[in-house]
Amino acid sequence: MKQILVISDIHGSADNLEAVLGREKYSDVIFCGDGIRDVMESRISPSAGRFFVRGNADRHFFGNIKYELTVGIHGRLFFITHGDEYGVKDGIGSLLLYCRENYIDIAVFGHTHSQMLREESGIIFFNPGSLISGNYGLIKCSGRKYSFVHKKL
């Protein structure tokens, strides 16, 4: 079984990030923005897949990290975004439309600082919450079966 660690909205809480990295076993890490410098300087396992996007608080980071990413991970098409450009604080309508138009299986996002797991139109929407508040998520993959877990430090 593969396990994807999902984090977002670190906002300088590198201690929480290191605590999660030490606590969980993971094959991949998805970072949904706001704290890219913390993630880039962390001790993520060198063997882990890394799927990172910038958030609205990362605008001044001078690296080649994109604001959104569409990628196949373990047999599913993921869309990773911070979510601010899709207005997720007001709902997932715009994000849902984008995902439908682009045949996305799983959308992972942050920005709201609130954990969310929802399925709509056959698309899974997963927000790990904010790591600054001790919230994060895990996606467990076994073949084509996925399970989503919200966790707290």
DSSP string, 88-135: GGG-SHHHHHHHHHTT-SEEE--SS-SEEEEEETTEEEEEE--GGGTE
Read off the CATH number of the domain in which 74 is found: 3.60.21.10
- 41-78 tens-digit pLDDT: 999 999 999 999 999 999 887 778 999 999 999 889 99
Q: What pLDDT is stored for residue 16 in this prediction?
A: 97
Q: What pLDDT is stored for residue 1 in this prediction?
A: 84
Average pLDDT over residues 68-97: 96
Q: Is the pLDDT of residue 14 over 90?
A: yes
Match 């977002």 to its residue by tokens.
8
What pTM was computed for the model? 0.96
Domain count, the chain: 1
- 18-30 tens-digit pLDDT: 999 999 999 999 9
Other CB atoms within 10 A of residue 125 CB: 22
What range does the domain containing 111 cover?
2-152
Task: Supply 47's token pair.
Answer: 């063997």
The phi and psi torsions of 47 (rounded to 5 degrees) equal: -85, -5
- 107-146 tens-digit pLDDT: 999 999 999 999 999 999 999 999 999 999 999 998 878 9
